[in-house]
Homo-oligomer: A and B are copies of this chain.
Amino acid sequence: MGTDPLEDPRSAAIEELEQLGLSAYAARTFVALVGLGEGTAREVSQVSEVPRTRVYDAVDELHERGLIDVQQSSPKRFWSISADTASRMFERELQQRTDVLRTALSEIYPIDHHVEQRGVWTVSGEPAVTDRVLDFLAEADDEIVYMTVDDLLTPELIGALKDATERGVSLKLGGVSESVREQITDEVDDVVTFESMWMWSDTPAGRLLMIDGRKILVSALVNGADASPTDPRSENAIWGAGETNSLVAVLKAIFTWRLEEIIDE
């Protein structure tokens, strides 16, 4: 990424505004105006480094989106809404958009997602992997084996695990630290915890999930050398389903074997 993460709020804001659909000029102009509170085209141009003659277009764009008010004098004056109001504005608009999207998509959705029995699927991105894990947990009806590192065990996931045990699914949880383990055994009954077994692979960290011995997901965190703490860590996962699935067959064998060994201790 070329821009500073949190150091420079102006660049960060401009970046976001562009992502949200504003032109580069409009974004820079708006940020300048938020800083100034109010100003003329010349003033805006000086602090934003937008060519003065283009400030007028940018301002039109912003005015139509309700982000600034304009004064029809000469020179024209521009007045930006407050940071808080602007954020509310975007939030409202985006909420509306996702609502439309949700209804449109659900109207499309046709047949049930029959699950492919052959092949291995790959997933990219931590949020996507978590979603898949949540889906799978929800469809378990016998046994869940879940191994994960601490910071991927969010409250949302703990809730899903709890739900599963409450409908009679047995849970084996591994890899977490002592403190987290205590917290879990406190909140969730019917859980067996076991020590980490990341040693069986050279994967530094990630998750491993097995559902009813018929569905398996494995993930690895891939932020190698350029690991910046603020970045959303990048996670890649693969999963497969079905007794005959090759991934399931292989991993299930290794997994249950090691698992029995460790729990027996």
Contact = CB atoms under 8 A, between A and B. Distances in A.
A21 B98 CA distance: 13
Contacts of A16: 97, 100-101, 104
A131 B86 CA distance: 9
B20 A123 contact: no
Interface string A32-53: 0011111000000000000000
Contacts of A120: 71-72
Size class of A's contact patch? 35 or more
A121 B90 contact: no
**How many copies of this chain does one complex carry?**
2
Given A71-B120, A122-B72, A37 B97 contact: no
10 contacts: A9-B103, A13-B101, A19-B21, A35-B108, A37-B113, A38-B116, A81-B131, A82-B135, A83-B105, A85-B131
Interface of A: 9-10, 12-13, 16-17, 19-21, 31, 34-38, 63-67, 69-73, 77, 79, 81-95, 97-98, 100-114, 116, 119-125, 127-129, 131-132, 135, 239
B20 A97 contact: yes
A126 to B, nearest CB: 8
A98 B91 contact: yes
Contacts of A131: 66, 81, 85, 88-89
Contacts of A83: 102, 105-106, 108-109
Given A34-B109, A38-B113, 15 more contacts: A13-B104, A16-B104, A17-B101, A35-B108, A35-B110, A36-B110, A63-B124, A65-B128, A66-B131, A70-B121, A71-B116, A79-B116, A81-B131, A83-B102, A92-B127
Nearest to A234: B64
Contacts of A20: 97, 101
B37 A108 contact: no
* Interface-centre pick from A91, A101, A102, A110 (highest chain B CB count, 10 A): A101
Contact of A65 (B12, B35, B72, B125): B125
